[in-house]
Amino acid sequence: MTVVVSGGVSLALIALFQLEQTSGMRLLRSARVLFDRAVEQARNRIAASYRAVSGPALRASVHYLFHKLLSALLRSVARLEAKLHSIARSNKDRANRSVNSEGVTSASHLSAIADLSAKPNSPIARSKSGVTRPFQGSDCHLSSVGRATVL
């Protein structure tokens, strides 16, 4: 049905334009002027409504896309933070197991200094007694855990 109607209107317009072109004058001038004005007004209304809607809609779309991008970035940073916390916890657990397996107590660095100063041959004890010698590389031993022990 649609094909018949649009085909008929197209043929009628082609015949009208051909007739106007051969005669050199426009037929139904007043009706065509009214029709042209109605089409122009409809076009102006559609354009105005499009401008009124497209500006805020476009701005809202850009804000929405930016919000989605920032949300995705926040989620990925949160996942990265959780992964880093997990790695830090497992590293701390490994270090504690390694220290405890070597028989080293988990005392603070202050107690380690106190233990060193109690040894008669330690550099700290020698400095307290007034007998010192320059530090040599053989005085220090780095264990597999990463702690230095002074010999």
Task: Output the six-digit token pair for 26.
Answer: 């426009």
| More confident site: 148 or 78 | 78
Average pLDDT over residues 12-19: 88
Range of the domain at 139: 108-151
Task: Output the six-digit token pair for 9.
Answer: 């209107």
| More confident site: 137 or 116 | 116
Kindly list the distances between the CA atom of residue 56 and the CA atoms of 51, 53, 64, 65, in Å, as whole numbers in the listed order: 9, 6, 12, 14
Task: Output the six-digit token pair for 147.
Answer: 């702690």
Give CA–CA dist 18/31, Å, rounded: 18
Give CA–CA dist 50/54, Å, rounded: 6
Residue 100 confidence class, pLDDT cut points 50, 70, 90: low
User: Do 79 and 130 sit in the same domain of this protein?
Assistant: no
Residue 138 has pLDDT above 80, yes or no: no
Task: Assess if residue 16 is contained within a domain.
Answer: no
User: Do 95 and 145 sit in the same domain of this protein?
Assistant: no
Please state the pTM of the whole predicted model.
0.35
Residue type present at position 108? S
Task: Kindly state the percentage of the chain with pLDDT values over 90.
Answer: 28
Residue 16 has pLDDT above 90, yes or no: no
Task: Output the six-digit token pair for 130.
Answer: 């007034």
pLDDT of residue 151: 47
User: Do 36 and 58 sit in the same domain of this protein?
Assistant: yes
User: Do 113 and 100 sit in the same domain of this protein?
Assistant: no
Average pLDDT over residues 79-100: 87
User: Do 87 and 47 sit in the same domain of this protein?
Assistant: yes
Residue 103 confidence class, pLDDT cut points 50, 70, 90: low
Kindly list the distances between the CA atom of residue 83 and the CA atoms of 72, 73, 128, 134, in Å, as whole numbers in the listed order: 17, 15, 48, 46
User: Do 33 and 101 sit in the same domain of this protein?
Assistant: yes
